[in-house]
Amino acid sequence: MKYDVVIIGSGLGGLECAYILSRAGKRVLLLERGAQAGGCIQSYRRDGMSFDTGFHYVGGLAEGQSLYAAFKYLGLLNLPWQRLDEGFDRVMIGARNFVFSQGYDVFAETLAMDFPAERSALKSYTDMLMYSDKQQLAALNPQADESSFPADLYERSAYHYLKETFHDPLLVNVVSGTSLKMELREESLPLFTFAHGNSSFIESSWRLKGDGSQIVDSLLNGIRKHGGEVICRAEVQELVEKDGKLVAAICANRETYEADLFISDVHPAVTCRWVKQSDKMKKVYRNRIARLENTFGMCTVSLLLKPQQLSYFNWNQYVYKQPDVWTFYKENHPVSGVMISCRVPEDGSQYARQIDLLTPMAWSDCEAWSDTAVGRRGDAYKQMKERMADECILLAEQAFPGLRDMVDKRYVSTPLTYRDYTLTPEGSAYGLRKDYRNAMLTMLSPRTPIPNLLLTGQNLMLHGVHGVTMTSLFTCAEILGREWIWSNIIEK
């Protein structure tokens, strides 16, 4: 059977593209090399409990907000979402805890209570965030032209903007304090990436009651309902080109799948390697992709707590060891900051059983303690993981005293775990690194030199659940047209 579209990789981007295209009437096949779909939003089980791989919370789901229309179309609004407290994020720097509130005006006014001299600057800051949010959707408008794309945000330094906008260095660090959701590099981070990583959460913030696999299952059910097929344990090894276009995907078991169009939700560097001796996939494009750097990975410490030890908290807590939250990216020393996320109690009680501690971790740290080429993990690597876990818990205890004694069991993963689990080069948490100094080079388009090969996922313009969803719309617009996306998803 020949398909209209073969999609390779069942991360969120691949799942969403498969859902949209199958619902639009395309014959869709989704290929996944692993035993289960989901990429970094899938879940795993330990001791009878499910733990999330990468999903923790999402923004912009209320009616009229930036993610509402897309999630409504995808059927994801039907999941058991729980809105976080008005103070959805809290940032502890030193002995002070600063609150991020939902709603742009409330957000600015809440921080202005701590920084009254910066009230006007905070208003300018939230105006910039709202502008960034609107531009993401505006670029899908069929009437949009190049002026609709926020080049002024792509090509501007996030760090320089913050330093120029706020006079108080502490406030610069506070507004950067929830940005473990991205890579805070002074020398490269574009303002657009920084704004995208913060704006939708200020609109509104939500957790799932239960694990992130509910998103995966919902999308898989929708794909199949609309006639799409999903095959797991189907590891693509080659994309066959003929007369300048792809004609088939060949898997490790030698099964061959033909299609008119192909979409890769896999890292672009891996995708390029699948296309052998291509005239269209010219050397200049391959070299460009090969030179791009990846963002850092994450060390995640998943804690199973003893019963009735810690009350559930309906917000996310960030704690920093140093006043400068950009320290990790300057000095690359471990556990200078940690995000603490609490799972909604599934038994309906007031007590938490699961919390995750996340801290940035460089690939070089994995290389120092293991043979990353073959994924070998010796005693030194295991000891390093335990030290990382101890440091994360110690830092988290600044916000939750006595946390160590509340822990029943803990499970630690690193970028090496992530690489082997999701096939993400260097265990990158947020895909390819964006650089305002080379915006057009590092902000990839869904299009490739091969006209019927498209890309999707967080390696393109945007990352995270919100960003990947937006990117999926752009990828599908290359097939269905912007007018179709606008009228059937955005405006409907």
Residue 368 lies in a domain: no
Lowest mean pLDDT among 43-57, 202-216, 349-363, 435-449: 43-57
Instruction: Give the model confidence (pLDDT) of 302-334 as tens digits.
Output: 999 999 999 999 999 999 988 888 876 655 556
User: Which pLDDT belongs to residue 280?
Assistant: 66
Alpha-carbon Rg for the chain in angstroms: 22
Mean pLDDT of the region 385-408: 96
Alpha helices in 302-426 (DSSP H): 327-331, 363-369, 379-396, 403-406, 415-422
Secondary structure of the chain: what % helix, strand, coil (to 5)?
Answer: 40, 25, 35
Give, as one character, the DSSP assignment of residue 326. Answer: T
Q: Which two tokens stand for residue 187?
A: 């020398």
Residue 281 lies in a domain: yes
Q: How many domains does the chain have?
A: 1
Residue 184 lies in a domain: no
Evaluate whether 277 touches 21 at the Cβ level (below 8 Å).
no
Instruction: Give the model confidence (pLDDT) of 450-471 as tens digits.
Output: 999 999 999 998 889 999 999 9
Residue 130 lies in a domain: no
424 or 279, greater pLDDT:
424
User: Which pLDDT belongs to residue 118?
Assistant: 97
Instruction: Give the model confidence (pLDDT) of 189-213 as tens digits.
Output: 999 999 999 999 999 999 999 999 9
User: Which pLDDT belongs to residue 359?
Assistant: 93
Q: Which two tokens stand for residue 329?
A: 């990216």
Instruction: Give the model confidence (pLDDT) of 237-259 as tens digits.
Output: 999 999 889 999 999 999 999 99
Instruction: Give the model confidence (pLDDT) of 94-131 as tens digits.
Output: 889 999 999 999 999 999 999 999 999 999 999 999 99
Please report which confidence band the pLDDT of residue 145 belongs to, taking 50, 70 and 90 as the band edges. Answer: low
Q: CATH number, domain at 467?
A: 3.50.50.60
Residue 458 lies in a domain: yes
Instruction: Give the model confidence (pLDDT) of 32-43 as tens digits.
Output: 999 999 888 888
Please report which confidence band the pLDDT of residue 294 belongs to, taking 50, 70 and 90 as the band edges. Answer: very high
Rounded to 10°, the helix 464-480/12-23 angle is: 40
- For 71, phi then psi, to 5°, come to -65, -30
3-class DSSP state for residue 407? strand
424 or 317, greater pLDDT:
317
Lowest mean pLDDT among 11-15, 230-234, 315-319, 368-372: 368-372
Nearest to 265 by CA among 35, 463, 4, 68: 463
Domain extent at residue 256? 2-43+60-78+210-293+435-490
- Estimate to the nearest angstrom the gap between the alpha carbon of 405 and the chain centroid: 32
Mean pLDDT of the region 413-435: 88
User: Which pLDDT belongs to residue 322?
Assistant: 84
Mean pLDDT of the region 376-380: 78
Evaluate whether 272 touches 379 at the Cβ level (below 8 Å).
no
Q: Which two tokens stand for residue 272?
A: 């390029």
Instruction: Give the model confidence (pLDDT) of 47-60 as tens digits.
Output: 888 888 888 999 99
Largest CA distance in the chain: 66
287 pLDDT more than 80? yes
Half-sphere exposure of 176 (CA within 13 A, CB side): 30
58, 63, 64, 69: CA torsion to nearest 10: 70
Give me the sign of the Cα torsion angle 400, 404, 410, 414: positive
150 pLDDT more than 80? no
Residue 441 lies in a domain: yes
Across all residues in the chain, what is the average pLDDT? Answer: 91
Mean pLDDT of the region 134-146: 77
Residue 255 lies in a domain: yes
User: Which pLDDT belongs to residue 39?
Assistant: 87
Please report which confidence band the pLDDT of residue 31 belongs to, taking 50, 70 and 90 as the band edges. Answer: very high
Cα separation of the two ends of the chain: 33
Supply the pTM of this predicted model.
Answer: 0.94
User: Which pLDDT belongs to residue 181?
Assistant: 83
Please report which confidence band the pLDDT of residue 153 belongs to, taking 50, 70 and 90 as the band edges. Answer: confident
Instruction: Give the model confidence (pLDDT) of 60-93 as tens digits.
Output: 999 999 999 999 999 999 999 999 999 999 999 9
3-class DSSP state for residue 301? strand
Please report which confidence band the pLDDT of residue 371 belongs to, taking 50, 70 and 90 as the band edges. Answer: low
Q: Which two tokens stand for residue 192?
A: 């657009």
Residue 456 lies in a domain: yes
Evaluate whether 12 touches 1 at the Cβ level (below 8 Å).
no
